[in-house]
Structure formats: structure tokens, C-alpha cells
Structure 1
Amino acid sequence: MEERNMRRLPKTVLLALLTVYLVWGSTYLAIHVSLISFPPFLLMATRFLVAGGLLFGWLKLRGAPSPTLRQWRDGGIVGVLLLAGGMGLTAVAQQYVSSGMTAVFIASAPLLFALWGGLFGEWPRGREWVGILAGFSGAALLASGGEFAAQPAGVAALAGALVCWTFGSVLSQKKLTLAPGAMGFASEMLIGGIFLLGVGLVRGEAIVMPLDVRAMLAWAYLVIAGSLAAFSAYMYLLANVTPALASSYAYVNPVIAVVLGGWLAGETTGTREAVAMAVILGSVLLLTTSRSRGKPAPEPGAAPIAATAVKHH
């Protein structure tokens, strides 16, 4: 039965899930490296302004209509909450908080998704609750082997980032009217990037010159893979699957980080990590095979994100 349910997921949904899982599992390292030359808010501002400008220009060349004034407004609200509040504050927090603490905070995102969704009248069902709680337990177990150092400013920034990210995500589903398809993603990145730029300038941030080569390569990765591919894929998931499944990246990303650590840094994986990753895999299977949002996702070819995610990854 579960296998049949998984087969019902359109290929575009599976592609978007894989994109978010794999890319966002590596972007924390890219952010850490980028901070060598870029201060937090200017890092995120330049990243999303370039990505949003490229996506907007590509769509206009293909004849896509520009967003209406209301769509710009609603895209701006989502962009400020997700990009400035969510990602901007996360970049700030990474200066003060250990990776273990960050992983546990991020893993609580599906729980907040469930709360916000319930306030808008859509609580998770029993199977989804099991998947959410199992995923959080697995992520906490996986992170327990690391250091949990944190300064109060970092904890506050992480908490603010989590609230902004989850609330903005649910608002984009329930209350706001975004431009269709990838144009909605472009408007969010452009408005969010402008807001981030203003915050960075007000805070007196400045890019460290000359630019470090590693920081520039990491920044380019964030633009192409982290923004054009993964952020667009995430917004597509929000529109087509349950909040619990869309937010399951929070459990998978620490697993990707552990795998990358073993591959790039020679870190060893013990019994605790193996058990935690098995629990996380089980939670994702539960969420993947649970009910849909009640409306089918577009077939391959009908969703602009399918081409966007592949083309820019």
C-alpha cells in the first residue's frame, strides 16, 4: 500500500523533494564559508537579488507576465518573512551557535508548521504526527554527538528565524496570492533581497575586500543551487504537498551534513548516527506516504519549477 502511495507522487514532487534534501543539506557549510568575506545580511541580500534577477529575466524572455501589484505585495511579505527573517537570522545565528544546536532548532520546524497549520484549520493527521515526532527525535539523536554551545544572541536569532520561516511558509499557502509558478518565486527573492540589503546597510555591514576565493565559490553555490534550485523547489512543495512533507527537509538535512562530513572531512559515523538516520528515514517514509493536500500536483511539464530546478541546479 505504501509503495503504491509513493508511486502516486508526481515526478516533479519527487524531484523537488530531492533538490531540497540534497542542496539544503549542504548550504549550511556554504554559508559558513561565505561569511569569511560576506557579512550575514549582505550575504543573503546579494544571493537573493542575483538569483531573483536571473530568474525574473529568464521568465520575461520566455514571455511570462509580470506580477500584479497585489502579487508583488504578497510576494514581498513572504520574501521578507522567509528570506530576511528566516535565512537572514539563520546566517546571524551561525556566528554564535554550534552546528548541533542549529540542527535541533531546524528539526523543530515541522512542529511549528503543524501549529501554524492548525491555527488555520488544518491539523496533521495521526500518521503525520508520528512522522513529525519520529523525525524530530531522530534529528535530536543525530545532533546529540556534537557540541551544543550557544550564546543568547544566537539562540534568539535562531528562534526568530524559525518563527518567521514557518509562519511565512504557511501564509504563502493559506492567505496570500502569489504570482503563478516561478514568477512568484522571483518576486519573493527580489523583494526579500531588497529588504535584506536595507537591513545590512543600516547595520553598517561591509563586504571584506579582497574577496576570498573560497567565499566567492560558496556564494555562487548559494545563488545557483541554494536559491534558484532549492528555494524554488521548496515553494513548489508548499503549493502541492502537505506542510509536514514539505518541511521534512529539516530531518534529512542533518543526515546530508553527516554524510558530507564523512566524505569531505573524514568524520566517522557510529551506532548512534546510524540509528538516528534510520529513524529519520522511517519518518520521511511515513510523511511521504501520508495523504496529499487534497489537490493533485501538476504533471511533469505543467510546473515551471520542474524546468527551473533542473536547469539551474
Structure 2
Amino acid sequence: MPVLNSLTPASKLAPDASSTGLSSLLLLCLAATWLVWGSTYLAIKYALLSFPPFLQMGTRFLFAGALLAAWMRWRGVAWPTRQQWRNALVIGGLMLGGGMGGTAFSEVSVGSGLVVAFIAVVPLMIALLNLFWGVVPRRLEAMGIVLGLGGVLMLTQGSGFQASPAGLVAIATACVCWSVGSVLSQRTLQLAEGAMGFASEMICGGVVLLLLSALHGEAFDWPPQPLAVAAWLYLVVFGSLIAFNAYMVLLARAPASLASSYTFVNPVIAMLLGVLIAGETVTPFEWGAVTVVLSGVLLLLWKPRA
């Protein structure tokens, strides 16, 4: 689950589609959000060979956040204020501590492809939470919410989640935490401007994850397997830094529908990689459930032309 749902809504940042061309930069950014984010769930699976879930995520985000903060300070950007650090702790605790921590924990017993397929319900949850702020979905959006949630119920009945109730609870908790953190960051809890805000979120989220690791009694497997180290580095560099900034570019320079397209592509990429590389099993029923979920997300994000 990318950190970037805590950004200002893309519709306020992106230009009209008619004025935006698919330059080579935008194509590279799309490739990053589609392929890199889609592959991070398999990387999490491989990192689990030596790094337990909360420790893996905590060190990943703390390291990436510290690098990004140091870079921004070198460029002369001020540190966040005390209130902004407090907001970063709440948002980072929810989105990274609960969201990404729960995601990694679920992958201990559930295939990476099924985990990311479940995560596709997040836009639907965010739309439901926005009801508390008086944002009522249009008829097409409401249909998408109902259809997507129905697809998730189908997904929970598949063999993958039926074999691991703990994994199902973990990923459901992760999606709720991520959605609540996303909405709070958009509505009430403002982070510092730009990349420094996201650096503070990653630092605070990393600290929360390390506390969860200590409370859970996780033990580090030393020496770590080379494959696990490579997967961890991939998550830090490509998942947390490169793809993260690529999405920020898309938000600023591309239509909202294009920037959000990773929502549909990531589950397919993750499931294909899980089957082809990791030997995971996805039944025809589960593929059908994923199709229903993505159809619901498509209806939710569909913007009919005037």
C-alpha cells in the first residue's frame, strides 16, 4: 500500500487531460507505479525469509524516511513543527504501523497476490469514510462500492484466506488503518509541506513499527539470507523512494484517473508474479473475485465526460 493516499486529492493538483501529454517522464512514472508497486508485495514475501514482518517494515521506512529527510534538509527545507510531527506520528502509526505492518504480517500465511487483491478495496473504504464529512457518493460510485465490497466478500471465501483466518484479520485491519489514516490526513491532520512531510511520516511510522516488533517479540535472523537482504533494499530504494516520488510527479502533471491507474494494475501484477515466480496458487474463483473488486474500483473512479 503506497504512502501517497495521504496527499492532497489528485483532482486538485492534476491538470485537465486535454492539456497533458504522455511524455517520456510520465511514462517512466507510470511504469514505476504500475510495475514497482505491483512487485513490492512479492519483495515483502522474500524479505520475510530473514526479516520478521514488523521489523522488516520498521527498518525499511525508518531508513527511507531518514534518507529523504536528510536530503530535504541539505536542500534547505525546514524541519516540521511540533504539531506537524504529532500529525506525522498519528498518520504514520495508522498508515504504516497498522497498514503496512498488517500487510507484511498477513503475508506470513497468505500469498502476496491475494493480499494485494484484498488491498484493492481501500479506495472503496475511503469513499465510505468520507460520508462522515458529508461527501455523498454519486450513483455510479455507490454501485462501485457495493460491487467492490461484494468482490472482497467473495475473495474471503477462497481457499487462500480460508486457510489463514489470522492472515485475513491482519489484512482487513491493515486496510481499515490505511483508509482511516488517509482520510484523516486529507481532512484534519496536515503534514509538513512536500517531501519533508512524507519523510516525517515514514520516520514516525518506522518507529511505531519497531515498537510493535519489540512488543511482538520478533527475532532477527542472523546472518540474513542474501535474497532477503536484496528484497529489503529493493523495498527501500524502489518501493519507498523511486516509486513514491514518481507518483508525486503523476499527481502534479497527469490527470487524476491516470495517476490512480495503479489501483487496477497492481493486483494483476502482484498475482501474476506470485504465481509465476513464487509458485503461489490462485484459484479461478479467486481470479473472478479480483475481477469483481477491480470492476467496483473502476466504477468508483469513473468520471463521465460532461
TM-score (ref. length: structure 1): 0.74
Q: Corresponding residue for 2:108?
A: 95
Question: 1-side partners of 2:136 and 2:30: how far apart?
Answer: 22
Q: CA deviation at 1:239?
A: 9.6
Question: 2-side partners of 1:74 and 1:240: how far apart?
Answer: 27
Question: 1-side partners of 2:152 and 2:260: how far apart?
Answer: 13
Question: 1-side partners of 2:273 and 2:131: how far apart?
Answer: 35
Kept after mapping to 2: 8 A contact 1:27/1:226: yes
Q: Corresponding residue for 1:297?
A: none
Q: Corresponding residue for 1:54?
A: 67
Q: Percent identity?
A: 50
Kept after mapping to 2: 8 A contact 1:24/1:253: yes
Question: 2-side partners of 1:18 and 1:128: how far apart?
Answer: 27
Q: Corresponding residue for 1:191?
A: 204
Kept after mapping to 2: 8 A contact 1:101/1:143: no
**Which amino acid is 1:113 matched to?**
I
Q: Corresponding residue for 2:83?
A: 70
**Which amino acid is 1:252 matched to?**
V
Name the SS for the 1:227 alignment partner.
helix
Change (3 A) 1:164 1:77: same
**Which amino acid is 1:222 matched to?**
L
Q: CA deviation at 1:34?
A: 0.2
Is 1:79 matched with 2:73? no
Q: CA deviation at 1:254?
A: 1.5
Kept after mapping to 1: 8 A contact 2:113/2:272: no
Kept after mapping to 1: 8 A contact 2:121/2:293: no
1:105-124 matches, within 5 Å, as 105-124=118-137
Change (3 A) 1:258 1:7: farther
Change (3 A) 1:214 1:66: same
Q: CA deviation at 1:108?
A: 1.9
Change (3 A) 1:217 1:279: same
**Which amino acid is 1:83 matched to?**
L
CA shift digits 1:169-205 (9 cap, x unpaired) = 1111111111001111000000111111122122221
Change (3 A) 1:155 1:259: closer
Kept after mapping to 1: 8 A contact 2:17/2:255: no
Of 250, 267, 270, 1:257 maps to 270
Q: CA deviation at 1:133?
A: 5.8
Change (3 A) 1:246 1:77: farther
1:123-138 matches, within 5 Å, as 123-129=136-142
Q: Corresponding residue for 2:179?
A: 166
**Which amino acid is 1:45 matched to?**
G
Q: CA deviation at 1:23?
A: 2.0
Change (3 A) 1:89 1:113: same
Change (3 A) 1:237 1:152: farther
Q: Corresponding residue for 1:214?
A: 227
Task: Show structure 1 runs of 5+ residues with no match.
Answer: 292-313
Of 268, 283, 287, 2:301 maps to 287
Q: CA deviation at 1:98?
A: 3.9
Q: Corresponding residue for 1:27?
A: 40
Q: CA deviation at 1:138?
A: 7.7
Q: CA deviation at 1:153?
A: 2.0
Task: Show structure 2 runs of 5+ residues with no match.
Answer: 1-14
Question: 2-side partners of 1:241 and 1:129: how far apart?
Answer: 26
Change (3 A) 1:77 1:18: farther
Question: 2-side partners of 1:270 and 1:96: how far apart?
Answer: 17
Q: CA RMSD in A?
A: 4.1
TM-score (ref. length: structure 2): 0.76
